[in-house]
Amino acid sequence: MKLPIKTTNSKFSFTVRMTPLIDVIFLLLLFFILSIRLEKPEGVLENILPESDTHGVADQQKDWEVVKLRIKLIKEGEQLKIYLQERVLYTYRDLLYYLNMLPQEIMLVIEPESKVPYKYVIGVYNTCLKAKKSNIVFAISPG
């Protein structure tokens, strides 16, 4: 498609060819559509937060105290040590075994050391979810 452009000088006629421009636009559009990478978001932690403050008031009125169990992660060299209170565990399977023996309403506090990689923290969290524990809290150690 040619668009004539009138000039003051009648000797020259200047035209713009739209077909190559449209071809280039479609090629760029095709390039960007084919080069886009759609990725799934990383794993979503399925910990449920309370919906409102009314739950906190109801919890304060209960007569019993929530039992907290501390899971501490320490990396020594290349080996990860999982401390379940004072008990030393080396695998997620051992942790799962002990967590299955605990009551359902116990609160688990995961305390990773600052130099422990996140993949181990997520591994412990997933192990807690496999044991069907829903009351999981993360504590951040200073340093």
Cβ contacts of residue 141 below 8 Å, gap of 6+?
111, 112, 113, 114
Query: Which stretches of the chain are assigned E, i.e. beta strand?
Result: 2-5, 14-17, 68-76, 79-84, 87-89, 107-112, 136-138
Note the pLDDT of residue 143.
Answer: 54
Give the mean pLDDT of 72-99: 84
Query: HSE-up of 103 (CA within 13 Å, CB side)?
Result: 6
Q: Which two tokens stand for residue 79?
A: 């080996």
pLDDT tens, residue by residue, 24-66: 999 999 999 999 887 766 666 666 655 555 555 555 555 556 6
Q: Determine the CATH number of domain 64-138.
A: 3.30.420.270
Note the pLDDT of residue 26.
Answer: 95
**Is 77's pLDDT higher than 70?**
yes
pLDDT tens, residue by residue, 87-136: 888 888 888 888 888 887 788 888 888 788 888 888 888 888 888 888 88
| Cα–Cα distance measured from residue 30 to residue 49, given in angstroms and rounded to the nearest whole number | 43
Note the pLDDT of residue 51.
Answer: 59
**Is 1's pLDDT higher than 60?**
no
What letter would DSSP give residue 127?
H
pTM: 0.52
Note the pLDDT of residue 15.
Answer: 76
